[in-house]
Amino acid sequence: MIPPILIRSIGVIAPGLTDWTTTAAILRGEIQYQPAPLPPLAPLLLPPNERRRATPPTRLAMEAARQAIEPIAADLTHLPSVFASSDGDLSLIDRLCEGIAQQPVALSPTLFHNSVHNAAAGYWSIGSGCMSPSTSLAAGDATLSAGLLECATQLATECDEILLVAYDLPGPPTLDIHRHFETPFACALLLARDRSQTALARMALDPITAPDPQGEDETHALSPALESMRAGNPAARVLPLLQAIAQQRAGKVRLPYLDGAVLSVDLGFQPMPSEAPC
Amino acid sequence: MMRAERVCLSVQSQMSIEPLSVTAFTLVNALGLGCSASLQALREARSGLTHCDLPGIALDTWIGRVPDLESAPLPDGLQAFDCRNNRLANLTLQQDGFDREVERVRAGYGPERIGLFLGTSTSGLEHTEAAYRRRTLSGNEDLGDDLRFDQTHSNFSLGAFCRTRLGISGPTQVVSTACSSSAKVFATASRHLLSGLCDAAIVGGTDTLCSTTLHGFASLELLSPHPCQPWGRDRRGISLGEGAGFVLLERLPPSPSRPALLGYGESSDAHHISSPHPNGLGAALAMRAALDRAGLPPEAIDYLNLHATGTPANDRAEDRAIAQCFTRPPRASGTKGWTGHTLGAAGVTEAVICLLALKQGFLPANLNRGVQDPDLALDVLETGLEFSPQIVMTNAFGFGGTNASLVLGYPR
């Protein structure tokens, strides 16, 4: 089993979910969830010329990331990151393929360089001035779990803190028929090894490789809109975990992993026994 | 908020890692199928680049194309994954006994203890492009059922295909960080192995030629009209290629006769989406981190396989980075003049070329350099060299300012 990790802070952005404080209140049932269009997202961390070029997925990912680092005053220039997204920027793929299908081919250089899956990570590193390692990964509907495992292995072997950003958003109608995302959703978790100072919760991850007959957890006792958000976006699969954190409910949360298997996350809220002096 | 009693941070980032044994490796690219085809072409000074002959692409450029992929279908039961990228992966897994070695580790450790970490930049985009072209011609609204998005286009398509084909159920992810993708998977695999999440890891990557990358690099004016001339004074840009490679890593005791992954280093440029840091600061960080993890000084590197894409800015930045890391530069060459730039597959392609250098005692030439660039401090091998290196390094850098360096060799 890999060593437990801490969640130090959380960022969330989705229609009707604009930050962790509001999201936590909704997940505790204190406020009713009201779907609302996403607010305009300005990636203020970027210099103006790069800000203009940033695409909707990059804006979404950077907003969640910004929220997660804000309360912590983390040293951004040395913070490794993991960007987890199943399908990145489908709107851009649509425009590129439309351009390719034309005669003569019409393709803009900015469109092309923004098409790499690590565009969001690239803009984040430019905005934060961070030269630490960053990776961009995908694992279909298991992308969130793959991202959590990647962070846990980095914390176990090479760093003290790491930023996980999970995001996906609906593509244009042409592609949405083939890969449907219900709503845009991004979540950022600032994760740390188990000896940092403060945290919202502690997690022990256990990837179960056999298919789980019980399947993944759903968001309990919430509006159908939130449950359909969870089921309709790989990044929003984090909602049962966020709900358990908001409700301070210790115990296991099952997140979807590959081929019907689950990633079991054992949540705890008590501090670890103090470490021996070092 | 909960509060732990003490803060007790140790610096882990530069600790050396346990060497991971390389027990199998293979590759396919424009030089041919399998290790012996690539090695023979490198020894015989035969490039894989040809003038672009892809149907419907009117660009004056050279490409490294894998022949006959169009007539190399997938096995029965896996046709849902059919696209050029997965065909190339399937073909590559059949070379050099790689399939057999996977069978061995599956039987030995169990399928759930084998990790799979693959890199790709464009996945099955070529298949999606074809669907858009068909739609334009037919005037239909829809792209058609043959798109099979999850099995072809999606970033994870390559992972899902290989997982199913190889019967693997351990941790799996696809890394897509442009041209560093299949170098970074070695780092990912190392972390998963050392964290105990798996006992063996299959790493690799696949990228195939498609209109988007050809026209995209053309739009950025980064395609060379001639076969690319990495590190040369007259270099004008890249020649694109396609390729795949796979490497099997196991947590076995080091052996002097078996090469190992000794170290890896990753970094970000934090500079620009499509241009490298002009002084190669990010690249230098990655190389230094790889040396630190290997626990080796720079002078231990006997051969350096350069990223060397052949664009003026890339090669200059890499040269500056090398000058910061090495007081006495090692023997070095870029090999994209042979294979073309295989983008997301470049990392593993060049890692396998390094493994061939270690096993076969041959350092490939930096093909097509032409006139030496007086602005570059590092000199490169102009001809192949019969030489048995003990420790080698390979670099892979990409759009988004992503950098990775690997150190491979015989553990001491």
The full 3-state SS of B237-256, as one line of letters, equals: CECEECEEEEEEEECCCCCC
From chain B, the residues in CB contact with A158 under 8 A are: 12-13, 15, 191
CB contact under 8 A, A93 and B184: no
Cβ of B398 and A116 within 8 Å? yes
Domain count, chain A: 1
In chain A, the largest separation of any two C-alpha atoms, in whole Å, equals 70
Q: Is residue B183 part of a domain?
A: yes
A153 in Cβ contact with B195 (< 8 Å): yes
Backbone φ/ψ region at B310: left (φ over 0), alpha (ψ -120 to 50), beta = left
Whether B6 sits inside 8 A of A195 (CB atoms) is yes
* A272 contacts B4? CB cut-off 8 A: yes
Residue B342's Cβ-count burial label (10 Å; 0-12, 13-18, 19+) is buried
CB atoms inside a 10 Å sphere around CB B133: 17
Which residues of chain A make contact with B171, given a CB cutoff of 8 A? 146, 149, 207
Whose CA is closest to A169, among A187, A193, A150, A185? A185
Residue B219: which of A1, A112, A126 has the nearest Cβ? Answer: A112
Distance from CA of B223 to the nearest CA of A (A): 13
A125 touches chain B (CB under 8 A): yes
| Residue in this structure with the two tokens 């039987």, named with its chain if needed | B107
State the catalytic residues of B.
179, 307, 341
- For B268, nearest residue in chain A (alpha carbons): A131
Q: B99 in helix, strand or coil?
A: helix
Which residues in chain A have Cβ-Cβ distances shorter than 8 Å to B199?
A: none
Q: Which residue of B has its CA nearest to A246?
A: B1
Tell which of A113, A143, A203 to mutate to test the B interface (max B CBs under 10 Å). A113
B16 neighbors B292 (Cβ within 8 angstroms):
yes
Tens-place pLDDT, residues A89-130: 999 999 999 999 998 998 999 999 999 999 999 999 999 999
B chain contacts of residue A139, beta-carbon cutoff 8 Å: 156, 159, 172-174
Taken in order B89, B91, B96, B97, the sign of the CA dihedral is positive
Which CATH number does the domain housing residue B241 bear? 3.40.47.10
Rounded distance, CA B144 to CA B146, Å?
Answer: 5
- Strand-pair category, B240-241 with A5-13: unpaired
Contacts of B270 in chain A (CB under 8 A): 125-126, 128-131
**Partner-chain contact A1 B196, CB within 8 Å:** yes
Burial class of residue B197 in the structure, from the number of CB atoms within 10 Å of its CB (0-12 exposed, 13-18 middle, 19+ buried)? buried
How many domains in chain B? Answer: 1
Chain B residues touching residue A278 (CB < 8 angstroms):
6, 8, 10
Q: Do residues B259 and B23 touch, judged by C-beta distance below 8 A?
A: no
Q: Which residues of A touch B314 (CB under 8 A)?
A: none
For residues B253 and B408, which has the higher predicted lDDT (pLDDT)? B408
Q: Is A30 an 8 Å CB contact of chain B? A: no
Q: How many angstroms separate the first and last alpha carbons of chain A?
A: 24
- Judge: A107–B219 Cβ closer than 8 Å, yes or no: yes
Burial of B104-123, coded b for 16+ CB within 10 Å and e otherwise, reads ebbeebebbbbbbbbbbbbb
Asked if A240 reaches chain B (Cβ–Cβ under 8 Å), the answer is no
Give the whole-number percent of chain B exceeding pLDDT 90. 91
Instruction: Let me know if residue B283 belongs to a domain.
Output: yes
pTM: 0.96
A73 and chain B in contact, CB less than 8 A: no
Q: Is A214 on the interface with B (CB under 8 A)?
A: no
Q: Is residue A255 part of a domain?
A: no
What DSSP element (H or E) covers B348? helix B346-360
Q: What is the pLDDT of residues A162-212, one digit of tens each?
A: 999 999 999 999 999 999 999 999 999 999 997 766 799 999 999 887 887
- The pLDDT tens digits for B297-340 are 999 999 999 999 999 999 999 999 999 999 999 999 999 999 99
Residue of A nearest to B169 (CA): A209
Q: Residue A92 sits in which domain range?
A: 5-200
Q: What is the pLDDT of residue A196?
A: 62
> DSSP letters of B185-221?
HHHHHHHHHHTTS-SEEEEEEEE---HHHHHHHHHTT
B99: which residues sit within 8 A by CB, 6+ positions away?
B93, B166
CB contact under 8 A, B156 and A140: yes
Nearest to B197 among A121, A134, A207 (CB): A207
Residue located via tokens 């913070």: A79
pLDDT band at B2 (very low <50, low <70, confident <90, very high): very low
Name the nearest CA neighbour of B246 among B21, B25, B32: B25
Q: Helices in chain A by DSSP H: which ranges?
A: 20-27, 48-53, 56-69, 90-101, 109-113, 119-128, 143-157, 173-176, 224-231, 239-246
Distance from B137 to chain A by nearest Cα, in Å? 9
CA distance B163 to chain A (A): 10
CA dist., res. A57 & res. B278, Å (int):
28
Cβ–Cβ of B129/A97 closer than 8 Å?
A: yes
Q: Report the mean per-residue pLDDT for chain B.
A: 95
Stated as kind and residue range, the H or E segment containing B128 is: helix B125-138
Please indicate, yes or no, if residue B9 is contained in any of the structural domains. no
Q: Is residue B279 part of a domain?
A: yes
pLDDT at A48 over 90: no
Look at B132 and A153 and tell me if their CB atoms are within 8 Å: no
Rounded CA-CA distance B144/B129 in Å is: 12
| A277 in a structural domain | no
Q: What's the pLDDT at A222?
A: 79
Helices and strands (DSSP H and E) totals, chain A: 10, 9
* Overall average pLDDT of the B148-177 stretch: 98
CATH number of the structural domain spanning residue A55: 3.40.47.10
| Predicted pLDDT of residue A273 | 53
* Mean pLDDT computed over B266-288: 95
> Chain A: residue nearest B188 by CA?
A150
Structure confidence at residue B172 as a pLDDT band (50, 70, 90): very high
Query: In this structure, what token pair is assigned to residue A157?
Result: 């072997």
Instruction: Domain of residue B202: give its range.
Output: 20-130+147-409
| Predicted complex ipTM exceeds 0.90 | yes
- Shortest Cα distance, chain B CAs vs residue A226, angstroms: 24
Q: Is the pLDDT of residue A216 over 90?
A: no
Query: What does the pLDDT read at residue A83?
Result: 98
pLDDT at B3 over 70: no
The better pLDDT of the pair A53, B122 is held by B122
List, in sequence order, every residue forming a beta bridge with A253; answer none if it has no partner.
Answer: A265
A57 close to B (CB below 8 A): no
Q: What is the DSSP letter of A66?
A: H
Cα(B144)–Cα(A39) distance, integer angstroms: 34
Burial track A260-273 (b if 16+ CB lie within 10 A, e otherwise): ebbbbbebeeebee
Q: Is residue A75 a part of any domain in this protein?
A: yes
Tell me if A44 is assigned to some domain. yes
Residue A36: φ, ψ to 5°: -150, 150
Q: Taking a C-beta distance cutoff of 8 angstroms, is the pair B168, B113 a contact?
A: no
Check if the beta carbon of residue B304 is closer than 8 Å to that of residue B332: yes
In a domain, A236, yes or no: no
Residue B140 domain-assigned (yes or no): no
Query: Which chain B residues are closer than 8 Å to A259 by Cβ?
Result: 163, 169
A158 lies in some domain: yes
Residue A12, token pair as written in the block: 């969330």
For β-strands B385-386 and B362-363, DSSP reports them as antiparallel
With CA atoms as reference, report the closest residue to B351 among B315, B303, B388.
Answer: B303
Q: Rounded CA gap, A101 and B130, in Å?
A: 8
Q: Is residue A260 part of a domain?
A: no
